[in-house]
Amino acid sequence: MVLTLAIVLAFFVPWPANLVVVCLGIVGEVGEIVWGRRIAKRWRPRTGAEAMVGMEGEVVSSCHPRGQVRVHGELWEATCADGADVGQTVRVKLVEGLILVVEPAESGLGFATRR
* pLDDT tens digits for range 48-99: 777 888 899 999 999 888 999 999 888 999 999 988 999 999 999 999 988 9
Asked if the bond preceding 65 is cis, omega within 30° of 0, the reply is yes
Read off the pLDDT band of 16 (50, 70, 90): confident
**Which residue would you say has higher pLDDT here, 43 or 63?**
63
Reduced to 3 states (helix: H, G, I; strand: E, B; else coil), residue 112 is coil
Distance from C-alpha of 54 to C-alpha of 76, rounded to nearest angstrom = 15
Nearest to 105 by CA among 44, 52, 73, 57: 57
Q: What is the pTM of this model?
A: 0.54
Q: What's residue 57's pLDDT?
A: 93
What structural domains and CATH numbers belong to the chain?
Answer: 2-42 (no CATH), 49-104 (2.40.50.140)
